[in-house]
Structure 1
Amino acid sequence: MQKQGTKLAFLGLGVMGAPMAGHLQKAGHDVTVYNRTATKAADWADTYGGSHAATPREAATGADFVFACVGNDDDLRSVTLGNDGAFAGMSAGAVFVDHTTVSAAVTRELAAAAGAAQISFVDAPISGGQAGAENGQLSIMCGGDGGAFARALPVMEIYSKICRRIGDSGAGQMTKMCNQIAIAGVVQGLSEALHFAEKAGLDGRAVVEVISQGAAGSWQMANRYETMLDDEFEHGFAVDWMRKDLGICLDTSDEIGASLPLTALVDQFYKDVQKLGGGRWDTSSLIQRLRKMG
């Protein structure tokens, strides 16, 4: 078990990062945070009792492990590279763990840059949404050196229900793409089922009570059907972010020769949701597209 009191840094305090960093501080570690909006970092420190820094480099200086959970490829580069980046502050032998969903290409790029500085890099995208982060029940899929993963695992276990190394650098990001591909199809299917029930004059809740106990059951059905029926879409991963992720999936599918016809179609459906003004709605809002656009 990772000893308590380990010096950690956490970069990015969005709806996922803030509670994840909070779990680390509550577990007895010495956590310094950085956020692009400095007031969020100060507020986090007031809430959890950790420290905050003005730059990623300052946060990472002296840390045994540095964690990041930011927005996209460019955001990740901005907190790792350059004079103020985390890599410039990290000591040889430290481990950088990236929880951002980014392209496998940028993962390999940054893993190489970290390696040149004698820093280990673990790509560790997460699934489980805001609730999973708040409850410490995330699924974490990892790529990178096995030794670095083994060192970081006891720390990541603080906020995860499963954390597994899939393979070498980039394997975690590839696995996250599988996750998003699977979610896209399931949410579209659930949306169509509930929309069909509404059009048929059925009680949607009664329908789900029955079909959820059979082969149609899913996490999405269990956790999203009520809010979908109630037109409430403020409970999870935003459409804007899902389109970013699906774009990565589709770009990568071209590179590796995979066929993703359903994913491409659902990506366009999410584009329709954005046109409805739903970019910040959660991903279950695909049903709203059916109601409004047919």
Structure 2
Amino acid sequence: MPDTTPLVSIGLPVYNGAGRVPGVVRSVLAQDHANLELVICDNGSTDDTEAVCRRLAALDERIVYHRHPRNLGLLNNFISAIDLARGEYFRWVGDDDRLEPQCVTRSLEPFLRDERIVLVTTQVAYTGPDGVTETAAYEGTALGSADPVARFAEMLRLLNQSHLLIDPLYGMVRREPVQAIPRRNMLREDEVFATKLALAGPWAHIPEVLAHRNWKHDRLPKLARRLDVPAWQARFATLLQCREMLRWLPQAGLTPAQHRRARAAVLRMYGTRHRRTLAHRTRKLARMAASVTASRGTAHG
């Protein structure tokens, strides 16, 4: 008999990940949800990624392998994964991530209970470069609100909190409405996209560790090089991020009153981040001044 359960697509963007891909592929194919496809998007890798992926695809018909003839950039490779997917539901996975076997099944449950849900997140365990694994429980409810501005404001609040609490970019989504949301290559685009998702519809959250990710914090200039965006954006990342959010609000289907509330929430976030940046720079200058004073004292001593 044909499988009547929903088709779920997992999108795996990869570049030069020959040694990492087999592990994440095994975790995806081990899901206890049978009606599954894994879409691998190879961003013109120059190592053995193509050979590895073709061997894996030959072993399991659920794998769809697509190789770009050239590197399209990090964001465009992520977009290509959702564009090539066929499933009613979709989830991105990193090339060094790992999913628990019940991740897809558990993530589907809220969608099947409530047709308004556009995104389901789960608790995630993050392992840093030092090998230490951390996780944190998100206990809020505002992201499930019927009020789009309540969801939007909560996402803005979370952007100034720990990354351990929630990760909307690696949750499961209803593919078609999320695929239709435009994205712009820029610093902190992932945060901008998260706010667009918050405006798109209610979310659900599963307080269980169902995914494992490796986490490395890169400074903005390094991220600019990875994303191939102008280096000057690193100095104005918060301003550009908030401007992009404000540009999206008129397209989010808000009432005039909701638009005003959402705009005020963006301005509050900008103020919070700007104060943090000024405080950080002040402390840095103070340390530099103290270092210069100390070195002069040593020289005269």
Same fold at TM > 0.5: no
- Answer with 1 or 2: which has the greater Rg: 2
The structure showing larger relative contact order (alpha-carbon pairs under 8 Å, at least 6 residues apart) is 2
Report TM bin, short chain: 0.3 to 0.5
TM-score by length of 1: 0.33
